[in-house]
């Protein structure tokens, strides 16, 4: 690797479907209440893709936005990586479908699967391509149509998830957010903890799998909650220690938006005050891989980040996978 070449995010973009699903709408389909959802999760509403919106179409709009904001052209993109747990198809990859919609772009394209930690896993991959000197501009997309795998009869999960996409251009040069470090982890465990059991080669889709609701997402919420706080805390501390920095040095904390109580428990343990945490959970719910980059894009729209300021990302998801990253605003 060229040790002087540092990857940085030079442009971001998002797409959120226009349809809003409120807590009061969910009260009509399952036995729940606005009060339970708000106090147990912090969520008030989430976006739901239409029948003709897919991870590829949402990801494509977010990609065009990111490319425009980066000040480059689609033909400058040399690689496309898409993080998604809800691809359009098992194959071909959603990345290739997105590529076909980017005029003039003939870049190689592939998907990665690390569930809610997918954006940060993807960031570590594209960073390596940039810092090895192989590519100058890479497009990283996170896009999820979680409503396609949510069981709207299961109150324990259907209130949690929403749809949406985000993209960023990661480059070898230019003003933006330099990736100072990324730390990745995984505690491989049973798919039943959090997963979609059918549709793969172990349980191919059949009448039986559909009858048993195995094509829907299932989750052991309490197990996931406990591990989420523990793993994101340890991975974040690893990352801060490697860079010899403290939580006080962080200007903005952008955590995965899965539950407000997870965010609060985590930030309390890390010692990051509420005014430095960026949240979108109340309006978008959990958008899996898209949650950190959607929040990042909105943070950059709302606040100016000065040169030298540090951002901290962390995410946790099925697998169990988790990751943390520190980025620094640079001016060149
Ligand atoms: O992005 C990937 C990572 N995902 C996560 O990090 C999610 C992690 N887990 C969580 O966020 C929480 O565990 C949940 C929000 C899923 C659940 O909250 P909880 O405080 O752990 O609730 P619980 O599962 O312990 O359930 C408590 C009660 C139960 O009733 P009983 O048995 O005490 O009578 C549930 O049946 O709440 C009930 N309940 C609900 N009640 C009203 C569960 N879901 C609902 C609901 N509305 N939607």
Cβ–Cβ < 8 Å for 62, 143:
yes
Q: DSSP states of 186-205 as a string?
A: E----GGGEEE-SSSSSS--
Is there a catalytic annotation at residue 116? yes
Position 4 scores a pLDDT of 78
pLDDT of 3: 58
Give me the residue label for tokens 């996409």: 165
Atom of ligand 1 nearest to the CA of 318: 2
228 lines ligand 1 (CB under 6 A): yes
Tell me the two tokens of residue 9. 């995010």
Instruction: Decide whether any atom of ligand 1 lies within 6 Å of the 269 Cβ.
Output: no
Q: How far apart (Å, rounded) are the C-alpha atoms in residues 64 and 56?
A: 12
Note the helical H segments in 148-220: 155-158, 207-211
> Is 36's C-beta closer than 6 angstroms to any atom of ligand 1?
yes
Ligand 1 touching residue 156 (CB < 6 A): yes
Give distance in angstroms: CA of 218 to centre of ligand 1: 12
Atom number in ligand 1 closest to CA 291: 1
Per DSSP bridges, beta strands 310-317 and 321-330 are antiparallel
Give residue 156 CA to ligand 1 midpoint distance, Å.
5
What pLDDT tens digit does each residue of the chain (332 aa) get? 445 789 999 999 999 999 999 999 999 999 999 999 999 999 999 999 999 999 999 999 999 999 999 999 999 999 999 999 999 999 999 999 999 999 999 999 999 999 999 999 999 999 999 999 999 999 999 999 999 999 999 999 999 999 999 999 999 999 999 999 999 999 999 999 999 999 999 999 999 999 999 999 999 999 999 999 999 999 999 999 999 999 999 999 999 999 999 999 999 999 999 999 999 999 999 999 999 999 999 999 999 999 999 999 999 999 999 999 999 999 98
Half-sphere exposure of 62 (CA within 13 A, CB side): 36
Q: Whose CA is nearest to atom 35 of ligand 1?
A: 156
The Cα–Cα gap between 107 and 113 comes to 20
Question: Token pair for residue 283?
Answer: 């309006």
Q: Which of 116, 158, 183, 231 is catalytic?
A: 116
DSSP 222-266: HHHHHHHHHHHHHHHHHHHHHTT--GGGEEEEEE--S-HHHHHHH
Indicate if the alpha-carbon torsion angle 197, 203, 204, 209 is positive or negative: negative
Distance 61 CA to ligand 1 centre (A): 33
Pocket test for ligand 1, best of 40, 149, 226 (most atoms within 8 A of CB): 40
Kindly give the number of the ligand 1 atom that is closest to the alpha carbon of 156. 44
CA distance 147 to 325: 28
Q: What SS3 class is residue 96? A: helix
The answer to whether 286 is a known catalytic residue is yes
Q: Hey, CA dihedral for 129, 131, 132, 136, is it positive or negative?
A: positive
Pocket probe for ligand 1: among 221, 294, 315, the residue whose CB has the most ligand atoms within 8 Å is: 221
- The backbone torsions φ and ψ at residue 266, rounded to the nearest 5 degrees and listed phi first, read -65, -45
Tell me if 231 CB under 6 Å of ligand 1.
Answer: no
Ligand 1 atom nearest the C-alpha of 222 is 13
Structure tokens given for 191: 């798919």
Q: Are 285 and 146 in contact (CB under 8 A)?
A: no
Question: What's 286's DSSP letter?
Answer: B
């Amino acid at each position: 690797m060229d040790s002087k070449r540092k990857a940085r995010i030079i442009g971001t973009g998002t797409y959120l479907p226009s349809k809003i699903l409120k807590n009061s709408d969910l009260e009509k389909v399952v036995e729940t209440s606005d009060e339970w959802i708000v106090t147990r999760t912090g969520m008030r509403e989430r976006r739901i893709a239409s029948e003709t919106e897919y991870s590829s179409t949402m990801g494509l709009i977010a990609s065009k936005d990111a490319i425009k904001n980066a000040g480059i052209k689609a033909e400058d993109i040399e690689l496309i990586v898409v993080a998604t747990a809800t691809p359009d198809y098992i194959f071909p990859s959603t990345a290739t479908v997105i590529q076909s919609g980017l005029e003039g772009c003939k870049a190689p394209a592939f998907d990665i699967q690390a569930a809610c930690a997918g954006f940060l896993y993807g960031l570590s991959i594209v960073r390596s391509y940039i810092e090895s000197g192989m590519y100058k501009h890479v497009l990283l997309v996170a896009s999820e149509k979680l409503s396609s795998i949510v069981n709207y009869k299961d109150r324990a999960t259907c209130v949690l998830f929403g749809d949406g996409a985000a993209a960023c251009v990661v480059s070898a040069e230019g003003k933006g957010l330099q990736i100072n470090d990324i730390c990745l982890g995984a505690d491989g465990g049973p798919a039943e903890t959090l997963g979609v059991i059918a549709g793969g080669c172990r349980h191919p889709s059949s009448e039986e799998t559909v009858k048993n609701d195995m094509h829907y997402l299932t989750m052991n919420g309490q197990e996931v909650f406990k591990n989420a706080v523990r793993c994101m805390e340890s991975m974040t501390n690893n990352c801060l220690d490697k860079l010899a920095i403290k939580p006080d040095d962080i200007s903005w904390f952008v955590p995965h938006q899965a539950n407000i109580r997870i965010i609060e428990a985590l930030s309390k343990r890390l010692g990051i005050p509420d005014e430095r945490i960026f949240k979108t959970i109340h309006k978008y719910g959990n958008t899996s891989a898209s949650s950190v980059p959607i929040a990042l894009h909105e943070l950059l729209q709302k606040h100016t980040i000065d040169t030298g300021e540090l951002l901290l990302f962390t995410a946790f998801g099925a697998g169990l996978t988790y990751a943390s990253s520190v980025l620094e605003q640079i001016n060149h």
